[in-house]
Amino acid sequence: MSFGDHLEELRTRVFWALVGPLPVFVVCLIFGGPLLEFITAPLRTALIRAGESPHLIATSPVEPFAVYMKVAAVVTLLVGMPWVLYQLWLFVAPGLYAKERRFIYFLLPLSGTMTALGLAFLYWVLLPLSLVFLIEFGTGLVRPHITGVEAPAGMVFPSLPALAGDPTGATPGQMWLNTELNQLRIQTDAGKVLALNVHSGAGIAQEYRLGEYVNLVFLLGLAFAVAFQTPIVLMLLSWIGMLDASMLTKYRRQALFGAVVLAALLPTQDPASLLVLTAVMYGLYEFGVLLMRFVPASRVARGLKDRPALAAGNDGHLDDES
């Protein structure tokens, strides 16, 4: 291909890389509500466990719409990334040898799998542990001093029914306490229910902004997606001769200490999440050592079905055969 043909091919691939995710973006806009509900579910569950009302606040009229669009854009980026990488692959693949293509076939699925594992670990393990601890810590940090007094003789205190949900067939004006949502709820004439959020009586009310929480989840998601690439980075460094497995096995204690320090730097100060995060980060280190031992560059170039041992006289460098 001439230089002009290469530019035309590049233009075509960029065009399809941008146009391809548009249907995904439209679907994300349609289902933006359920996506936002999915992202905020760990926080709402943690608030309920701490005896708080599971609601988030918006401090400006624009904030819910901005968060809605951000969630749709980020999910589109995640779902559409394989399509974008496929278009990039179609552009570069004709100029690669067969053994070079094998590296792409191995590295891209491995990187995608590790990214998915990192995001799943954050959502289903780390967030529930950390949020419960942080909310309960904030709730118990300041306790107001309540003075006990004797009630006047004959005083009648009003009472409300406490239900685990909303009653069916409620009439306008009826009130009840929803213990599932920790809300005081009132049936109105319009067939709607007004809600008043109640708290556990702590000195610090646990009310969180929608935008700040979503930004925190996305930031942690990016951090864990990058952190779970550690085994791949170690393997790549061994391919270029900067590290080897025997070198890393000598520093296991230092690696464990480093995992503890890195885990402590993240916003997960509770002992349970600190222990889990340390174990996972150290596990990534050991997984990287396994990849260095059993997946050398020469084996990937020949195909993973070959034996990992190098042939006699082969120093691990790649030749130009296809």
**pLDDT (tens digit per residue) in 151-193:** 898 898 889 899 999 998 889 999 999 998 889 999 998 778 9
Straight-line distance from the first to the last Cα atom of the chain, in angstroms, rounded to the nearest whole number: 20
**pLDDT (tens digit per residue) in 40-64:** 999 999 998 888 889 899 999 999 9
Give the pLDDT of residue 37: 96
Q: Of all helices (H) and strands (E), which one includes residue 104?
A: helix 98-121
Task: For 138-252, list the strands marked E by DSSP.
Answer: 162-163, 175-178, 183-187, 193-197, 208-209
CA distance 132 to 270: 9
- What's the token pair of residue 136? 């309960």
Give the pLDDT of residue 3: 76
**61-82 core/surface letters (b: 16 or more CB in 10 A; e: else):** eebeeebbebbbebbbebebee
Listed in sequence order, the residues at least 6 apart from 303 whose beta carbon sits closer than 8 Å to its beta carbon are 102
Give the pLDDT of residue 321: 43
**pLDDT (tens digit per residue) in 95-138:** 888 888 999 999 999 999 999 999 999 999 999 988 988 888 88
CA distance 238 to 254: 19
Closest CA to 135 of 197, 185, 60, 199: 199
**pLDDT (tens digit per residue) in 246-276:** 999 999 999 999 999 888 887 656 788 888 8
Is there a contact between 133 and 269 (Cβ–Cβ < 8 Å)? yes
CA distance 227 to 130: 18
210 pLDDT exceeds 90?
yes
Q: What is the largest CA-CA distance in the chain?
A: 100
CA distance 294 to 308: 6
CA distance 198 to 50: 12
- What's the token pair of residue 32? 């933006």
- What's the token pair of residue 267? 């916003």
Q: Of all helices (H) and strands (E), which one includes residue 16?
A: helix 3-19
Q: What's the whole-model pTM score?
A: 0.85
Instruction: Output the average pLDDT for the chain.
Output: 88
Is residue 312 very low, low, confident or very high in pLDDT (cuts 50, 70, 90)? very low
Closest CA to 39 of 211, 214, 207, 208: 214
